[in-house]
Structure 1
Amino acid sequence: MSDFETDYLIVGAGAVGLAFADTLLDEDPDCHITIVDKHARPGGHWNDAYPFVALHQPSATYGVNSMELCPDRVDEHGHNAGMFPLAKHAEILSYYSKLMSERMIPSGRVSYHPLTEYLGGDVGEHRIRGILSGDEQTVRVRRKLVDGTYFQTSVPSTHKPTFAIAEGARFAIPGDLPALWKETDNLPDHYIILGAGKTAMDTGVWLIEAGVSPEKIGWVRPRDSWMFNRKLLQPAYHRIEGLIQFQIDLVECAASSKTGDEMLAKLGQRGTMLRLDESVTPKMFHFAVISEGEVEMLRRIETVYRQGRVTRIEPGKMHFGDDAIDVPDNTLFIDCTATAVPFEARENVRPFFEGDTITLQLAQTPFVPYSAALAAFLEANFDTDEEKNALCPPAPLTDSTDTYPYAVMANLMSTAILSNNKKTDQFNAKSRLHPTGPAVARLIEEKDPRLATLSKVGPKIQKLMPEVVRLGMAAKAIHEAS
């Protein structure tokens, strides 16, 4: 016998689960939702993130549909000056707490169970357990289980290093760095960043802005990355010209290239993509977004190790397999090697809608909250799994330069599918999380002259789409074989 009942049991109170719940509240006013999460407060992996983390992209399209994340203004200082704000760690956690306490729970239709783990279930009966109490409960789910944990996001504080750490080696994760002020009598003489992704970049920027001389920083970068230029990805209503340029650049460079590397190199020549070292051809692409100011700052770190992955650290020495490199004494090694989305999650693609289970994935890469909100809209407004899945085939989360054209092709196809359906087209026009929908609707309403330029994008894409598909299908084959 069940302890309580609900219509939808959502596993995960992070960006994915909450974006789904928020939209479902509006689209299905009769449903009841239960949310369980291992963390003590809403926000998912943001609870475990380092304190100086911020969004990579403007906050205008992050969070949930019903509530703005950051004020609609332009930053005047720092490396994001002249662009719209990037929500910081504390702001994001506060946002999700406010969402839960002021919208979801007061609705009377949401039950929230923090510090609770999902144990599994079948045929409508599911089990949960309080992490601290150990008490188990059975939940009867009248409609569907919603899995908001597909991405298995890994952050430094929950990541286990894959290299050995010898006794006496000074080791830290990014979250430890703000507490260095407590060690003024024993500050490191040198810092080495381990990892090549956006966490490592954030760490390098933080160290330099905190006053550490770039000469005292080393950086282990086994491979370099291409990154989106943030100035082109600003909120659509205010900076539609940049988004138009970005979209045209993507299709023109894809259509005129034979490989992903060639496409990204052309995007780099246009300034659409950025890289840290002009002499190195990046092989990694994880959809990171960066400013030109951050790139300029990070290029000041000139000691870069490219020998591969570190296998062991010890006082005064760093190992790469059988090779060892001397490093300054009293070096602090900073582990930034956590993979945001593990490869097993990338490989485990399944339909969004399967009977009594909804698996929240990407409908368009890398728009995580939007994809979850879209899934909720489809759940509430379409009848069959076949209809719903036809409107949101899972988009690929590619990670390399070779496979990125596959994601570009998939996004363009998804856009066409959704715009050709009256219901989903109307949803996109009002969804705060959609990168362009509400802005375009507003421009049309205001008869904005910028629509003339925007109107040229569709015909350009249509003309070049066969060549985009050619490159995208070749990248798809590489992605599926890797």
Structure 2
Amino acid sequence: MQLETDYLVVGAGASGMAFVDALIEHSDADVIMVDRRHKPGGHWHDAYPFVRLHQPAAAYGVSSTMLGGDRIDTAGVNAGMYELSSASEICSYFSEVMDRVLLPSGQVRFMGMSEYREVAPGDHRVVSLLTGEEVQVKVRKRLVDATYIEPEIPATRRPPYEVEAGVLVVPPNDLVNLGSAAAGFTVLGAGKTAMDVCTWLLEHGVDPNAITWVRSRDVWSVNREWTQPLDLVHTQVRYGGTWMRAAAESSSGAEMALRLEEAGLFLRLDQDVPPTAYRGATISPAEVEGLRSIRNVVRAGRVRRVARGRMDFENGQHVDQPLDQVYVDCTATGLRTIEPRPVFESGRITLQYVTPGFACLSAATLGVVEAVLDDDAVKEHLSLPVVYTGHIDDLMSFTSTYLESASRRNGVPEVRTWSQQTRLNPVRGLGERLDDPRVVAAMQESKKWKDAALENLARRTAVAV
């Protein structure tokens, strides 16, 4: 059996869905989407059940379809900010987008429970994971890899350290299925997953003294109060102006982080420990307050072995532990550090971040670029990959790459107009609130520091042109 299409998109997670939604909005392209899972949604199907978006639902998903109700939460650690959808809500949303938007368009076909294989260059096969049936697909334009930036999550890989028999080590997913009370919980990992787990345990009545938190390094997080759209869009504009000023006045990524903390945009958990990592996660001040109640923090580096009554670390140290702990593995990297590769190549698109922290906006932007422009060299010029290395020292080069790439896209009228109008833009609602004094002040601040920021970044970093 053989099929034919313009675009064969491998992966129906957030990036793949956002790319296809934007592509078919701006072209008459025919698309086949392939995914190993039974429905769209990607890693959200494997996420721990209590996870929520780390950004407002108002600016997540696909451009054509609203996620959530653009509501502001009134309770919990996100109170006063726009709602954060749950994993189940996101999976349901992407299924609805597929069933009610993409498939009815007549431009999209979905092959779930299927695996993509490239037998030889240009020889594309799709194999059913249920029947083993193999279909050859002739691709007229491009293969689209929508899996390249897929995050690594604990539920889909084994812990990277040795676990002695009889010691209970679980991914966050299994916390909701514990059959009896634990003597205590030891959370391994320093990132947002570990923060989510600790917050969830505290919210469910676990004494902070019953939690041990193993952090190999401390991380900077973005204050979520500064990332709000619509009626609170002045916060997002203030974010931009504050970031510009820090970029203009700093000599290194570490100094830039400290300036952002002084302004209130960056948050850390321990005032006595300088964070050395940044992966773009957001957190609320209420979450930080709760997490600071956990006093038993172990900073002995990476765990080598978990045994009954002790943890051994790679640096030779060991830490004694109470017996019958539940160890929660949160050591997966989440947002992976990737090797940047060309986004647009002959016969191929590799979806990557071109807007920091916004996978859906990045993918949709690339869908628009692909649809409205013809020259691959021009497309690539507009699409510099923004890579999260995790090291705070790279904050300035990260910023420089993004600003250069965004400036280039802003020079293309079709892309600029779409960017200003899409619901995925983090400053959604700005156009309707240009008379808000808070917005005016924040925009003036951004304009004031923009040229100085670009000059300083150019002097201290190197961006390919």
Q: Same fold (TM over 0.5)?
A: yes
Is 2:203 the counterpart of 1:209? yes
Is 2:86 the counterpart of 1:85? no
Is 2:350 the counterpart of 1:355? no
Is 2:372 the counterpart of 1:381? yes
1:268 alignment partner AA: E
Q: Is the 8 A contact 1:398 1:404 kept in 2?
A: no
Gaps of 5+ in 2: none
The aligned counterpart of 2:151 is 153
Give 1:308 deviation, angstroms: 0.7
Deviates more, 1:288-297 or 1:65-74: 65-74
Distance 1:424 1:209 in 2: 43
2:372 alignment partner AA: N
Secondary structure of 1:337's counterpart equals coil
Is 2:447 the counterpart of 1:458? yes
Give 1:441 deviation, angstroms: 3.1
Give 1:123 deviation, angstroms: 5.9
Give 1:241 deviation, angstroms: 2.3
Deviates more, 1:265-274 or 1:248-257: 248-257
After superposition, residues 309-320 of structure 1 pair within 5 angstroms as: 309-320=302-313
Q: Is the 8 A contact 1:6 1:141 kept in 2?
A: yes
The aligned counterpart of 2:358 is 367
Which of 325, 329, 334 is residue 331 of structure 1 equivalent to? 325
The aligned counterpart of 1:170 is 168
The aligned counterpart of 1:13 is 12
Distance 1:323 1:223 in 2: 16
Distance 1:440 1:90 in 2: 30
Give 1:240 deviation, angstroms: 2.8
Distance 1:341 1:416 in 2: 25
Distance 1:455 1:304 in 2: 41
**Structure 1 residues 234-283: Cα deviation after superposition (integer angstroms, max 9, x where no partner):** 01x31232123211221212222222111111211221100000000000
Distance 1:145 1:16 in 2: 14
The aligned counterpart of 1:247 is 240
Q: Is the 8 A contact 2:21 2:63 kept in 1?
A: yes
Secondary structure of 1:72's counterpart equals coil
The aligned counterpart of 1:61 is 59
Gaps of 5+ in 1: 478-482
Give 1:104 deviation, angstroms: 1.4
Which of 269, 272, 289 is residue 279 of structure 1 equivalent to? 272
Secondary structure of 1:402's counterpart equals helix
Is 2:463 the counterpart of 1:469? no
Give 1:453 deviation, angstroms: 2.6
Q: Number of matched residues?
A: 462
Q: Kindly report the root-mean-square deviation, in angstroms, between the aligned alpha carbons of the 2 structures.
A: 1.7
Give 1:454 deviation, angstroms: 4.8
Distance 2:424 2:232 in 1: 16
The aligned counterpart of 1:115 is 113
- The alpha-carbon distance between structure 1 residues 77 and 6, as it changes in their structure 2 partners (threshold 3 A), is same
Give 1:3 deviation, angstroms: 1.3
The aligned counterpart of 2:432 is 442
- The alpha-carbon distance between structure 1 residues 453 and 342, as it changes in their structure 2 partners (threshold 3 A), is closer
Give 1:449 deviation, angstroms: 5.4
Between the two proteins, what is the percent identity of the paired residues?
Answer: 39
2:7 alignment partner AA: Y
Distance 1:423 1:55 in 2: 29
Distance 1:432 1:174 in 2: 31
Give 1:292 deviation, angstroms: 0.2
The aligned counterpart of 1:394 is 385
- The alpha-carbon distance between structure 1 residues 252 and 337, as it changes in their structure 2 partners (threshold 3 A), is same
The aligned counterpart of 2:404 is 413
Secondary structure of 1:288's counterpart equals strand
Give 1:448 deviation, angstroms: 5.3
Q: Is the 8 A contact 1:257 1:471 kept in 2?
A: no
Distance 1:191 1:433 in 2: 38
Tell me the TM-score normalized by structure 1.
0.92
2:88 alignment partner AA: A
The aligned counterpart of 1:48 is 46
Q: Is the 8 A contact 2:223 2:265 kept in 1?
A: yes
Q: Is the 8 A contact 2:241 2:442 kept in 1?
A: no
Distance 2:26 2:120 in 1: 26
Secondary structure of 2:138's counterpart equals strand
- The alpha-carbon distance between structure 1 residues 333 and 448, as it changes in their structure 2 partners (threshold 3 A), is closer
Q: Is the 8 A contact 1:75 1:83 kept in 2?
A: yes
2:2 alignment partner AA: D
Distance 2:336 2:439 in 1: 41
Distance 2:353 2:359 in 1: 6
Distance 1:239 1:152 in 2: 30
Distance 2:448 2:260 in 1: 21
Distance 2:346 2:310 in 1: 55
Distance 2:261 2:291 in 1: 17
- The alpha-carbon distance between structure 1 residues 304 and 455, as it changes in their structure 2 partners (threshold 3 A), is closer
1:401 alignment partner AA: I
Distance 2:130 2:341 in 1: 33
Give 1:439 deviation, angstroms: 2.4
